[in-house]
Chains A and B, each alone.
Chain A
């Protein structure tokens, strides 16, 4: 199967290795991942990726994926039936691609939703595609706009799983600040009303790191089930740790060395951003170790505070962004999260080969080290 698609065994193992790295797993798991992926790609799971009140930042971030690269994911791993920024089709041809997939792949497709869903005014604040019903328009009968909420009602029941991609889809995010006008609603709340038990995975982040999304999808392909989630329905493997605890500048924080003027002539001295408003102490994400844009940098690495963009409270409740966090949020958090964060993340790392993980966990604990 693998060879028939022009991929050599060697390439495939290399790819499985990259997947292990992506999910933070041991290299000893490579053969196992390779086997699981081989089975998974035998039938490419269909994906319908729709957009609500979005800004397309999640899609653009997805394009920055490295392991595997975007062309591999889109062509080899998934059958991307509808993704408005990438697909060739437009108009009725594109709409038909959704409708056909929903019909032919009922119960099998993954529904990715980027951006939240506006519910006021019958959903007219966000529409795409056309309804059957028409209205008169400059002497013609013009098919009406089809609201995002109508698409959700149509597509959620037949989805194997729903992925809410990005902070807006997961928690309301930026557009939720105007919810009184448009009725902006996070995806999980919409899904709950349509199909109560349908699993929803929230991939937070504004934007989400490409690995958080790709890793979750690969995990789903391999294990055919939803990964272990935290209380916000985020995969624990990516959102289990506090930025502050893993920050490369943590030593500066402990030593009380803070950046307050960007002209401080010490480009090599990694001063803590706390006094410039860093939200790392209240933000759960693996940015310090994963880093962004092929590992080139991350927010704190650019002498800029973490703005907490992966948190459900972003942006409204984390403003002002450049003012230090109030002590009340901060006090007493440190030691508790240190312990819980690490155990939570390791024990749930995508659920691949659980016994390997327990072994690793034991090893790590005896070393008392970081992952």
Chain B
């Protein structure tokens, strides 16, 4: 007999997400993804000085401010006709890269790993490694006190990694990873001042000139991170992917075979060549990457708490008019579609478009290329592979910085009466687009289409599910009290809801129109 399981809050993500699954015969039969928080940041930017944009939009999200600030900078550069100096492009790439590293490490260890590792097993560690012994002492102490918050309680499951030796090593890496992600933030703040909410990128370029000493300070931290990614992060991914009980998650959690990447990390001033390439994959045909066409993006609001006249528009013309009484609606997220299809974005999409040898070797080894289904574990693996190849590449970019060369184009100071801009980038969680319309020298319209809006979208006007909703179908839920596989799947997308629900269309939403009646 079918039953509905509601999971709210979905924790260890960014923001407010509710997941409902219909479970029948121990498996997910249907699923609904609901974003449950709305701020409407859009009001803030209208009639403001265009230079304020990147400082405001980076506050859409505290987990991925870097990508919003970067997209805003490119957006403004475009609108202001800036000729971006190479040093500025490279420093922006380095800082965005540092945030990818921070975000990917944080995601696997601090947001996802507790779904796989039994922290309590550490108390049973019997090895002689002094560091792990100390960790055992700490966990055993907590267990004895009966207070293992925030690691217990949790969903119970019999497939956690509970071998004391292995669990202790993984939990020690969880602790190490706290320091590693912090180091990535420090690396970023060398050029950008601080994290989160950084200040080092402005329209026209960046604010810190490369010097021998700041390049060295960046490289020292990068080297340490690269070594750790190789020897710990990649190895832990392989370890978890190799656990026999998790074999079904190689293909389970597949989102339907549609992938979109805007591409990121410009390698020339025109942005023609990108380190992470741009492209579209449809219907699981991963060997056939198609060119991307911005005009094919539309947003559906049939199941979103917005008025019907917001339906089916390209984001450039879109509207965001809340309607909490709307029949059938269940989310503050809209449903963006590309050529009418739901699209998964993020590391898996990017790696499938890019096909780096390391990922393809892994996919071949795990038998993924036969079934052409990429589920929960490939999503984690793609994130780790991306983290590694990006960190390695960043070391080369450091060599390309030229001490004493320009970092800023002063043309950015001349605000035209009217101009349009666009910034398409990749963030840790996927494809991000910002658009601006400058009118009378101030912001007339500013809008973003954000990664998690693609991934966590509700159904569209044709009733077709969003990528996370599709990915949940068929997942085993043997115990309705402990739907661990549901959250494993949702977390593999690294959702960020603050980003997803903010959508910005001030042009259509003056205060009067916006008021909810």
Contact = CB atoms under 8 A, between A and B. Distances in A.
Interface string B108-142: 00110010000100000000000000100110011
Given A137-B4, A178-B41, A180-B511, A93 B16 contact: no
A4 interface: yes
Contacts of B106: 63
Contacts of B458: none
Given A71-B175, A304-B207, A51 B44 contact: no
Contacts of A79: 147, 149
A86 B51 contact: no
A329 interface: no
Contacts of B61: 55-57
A304 B322 CA distance: 37
Contacts of B211: 267
Interface stretch (A28-36, A248-256, A320-328, A338-346): A320-328
Contacts of A323: 49
Contacts of B59: 55, 57, 174, 206, 315
Contacts of A297: 189-190, 193-194
B4 A174 contact: no
B16 A57 contact: no
Contacts of A4: 141
A178 B498 contact: no
B150 A88 contact: yes
Nearest to A53: B39
A174 B11 contact: no
Given A142-B6, A261-B410, A298 B209 contact: no
B188 to A, nearest CB: 8
Nearest to B51: A322
Contacts of B34: 145
A69 B178 contact: yes
A302 B114 CA distance: 37
A127 B330 CA distance: 12
A142 to B, nearest CB: 6
A92 B18 CA distance: 12
B410 A75 contact: no
Nearest to A307: B55
A258 interface: no
A12 B208 CA distance: 39
A15 to B, nearest CB: 14
A70 interface: yes
Contact of A140 (B4, B60, B175): B4
Contacts of A118: 38
A54 B501 CA distance: 12
Contact of A262 (B18, B138, B190, B207): B207
B62 A57 contact: yes
B8 A91 contact: yes
B290 interface: no
B4 A84 contact: no
Contacts of B516: 120-121, 181
A180 B324 contact: no
A57 B199 contact: no
A331 interface: no
Contacts of B446: none
B211 to A, nearest CB: 5
Contacts of B188: 293
Contacts of B404: 265
A49 to B, nearest CB: 9
A302 B142 CA distance: 42
A323 to B, nearest CB: 7
A61 interface: yes
Interface string B1-16: 0011011111111111
Interface string A89-106: 111111111000000000
Contacts of B163: none
A293 B8 contact: no
A232 interface: no
A180 to B, nearest CB: 6
B401 to A, nearest CB: 12
Given A302-B200, A315-B56, A263 B150 contact: no
B22 interface: yes
Most chain B CB atoms below 10 A, which of A92, A138, A261, A262: A262
Contacts of B52: 315, 319-322
A175 interface: yes
A360 interface: no
B193 to A, nearest CB: 3
A336 interface: no
Nearest to A100: B153
Contact of B141 (A6, A263, A303): A6
B344 interface: no
Most chain A CB atoms below 10 A, which of B39, B178, B196, B199: B39
Nearest to B175: A71
B55 A93 contact: no
B175 to A, nearest CB: 5
Most chain A CB atoms below 10 A, which of B3, B114, B134: B114
Nearest to A74: B150
Contacts of B38: 53, 118, 125-126, 182
Contacts of B243: none
B332 to A, nearest CB: 8
Interface in A63-90: 63-64, 66, 69-71, 74-76, 79-90
B478 to A, nearest CB: 16
A96 B152 CA distance: 12
B63 interface: yes
Given A302-B191, A316-B44, A87 B11 contact: yes
A87 B9 CA distance: 11
A234 to B, nearest CB: 18
Given A88-B119, A121-B516, A128-B36, A145 B196 contact: no
Contacts of A96: 153
A207 interface: yes
Contact of B62 (A61, A74, A92, A137): A61
A302 to B, nearest CB: 3
Interface of A: 4-6, 44, 46, 51-61, 63-64, 66, 69-71, 74-76, 79-97, 118, 120-121, 124-130, 137-138, 140-143, 145, 174-175, 177-178, 180-182, 184, 206-207, 261-263, 265, 267, 292-294, 296-305, 307, 309, 315-316, 319-323
9 contacts: A71-B175, A88-B152, A89-B11, A121-B516, A138-B30, A145-B36, A262-B209, A294-B182, A320-B49
Interface of B: 3-4, 6-16, 18, 20, 22, 30, 32, 34, 36-44, 48-49, 51-52, 55-56, 59-63, 65, 106, 110-111, 114, 119, 134, 137-138, 141-142, 147, 149-155, 175, 178-179, 181-182, 185-186, 188-200, 202, 205-209, 211, 217, 322, 324, 330, 404, 406-408, 410, 481, 483, 487, 498, 511, 514-516
Given A6-B138, A206-B59, 19 more contacts: A61-B196, A79-B149, A87-B151, A89-B153, A91-B6, A126-B36, A140-B3, A140-B22, A174-B59, A175-B41, A182-B39, A261-B408, A263-B410, A296-B186, A299-B199, A302-B189, A302-B207, A304-B202, A321-B49
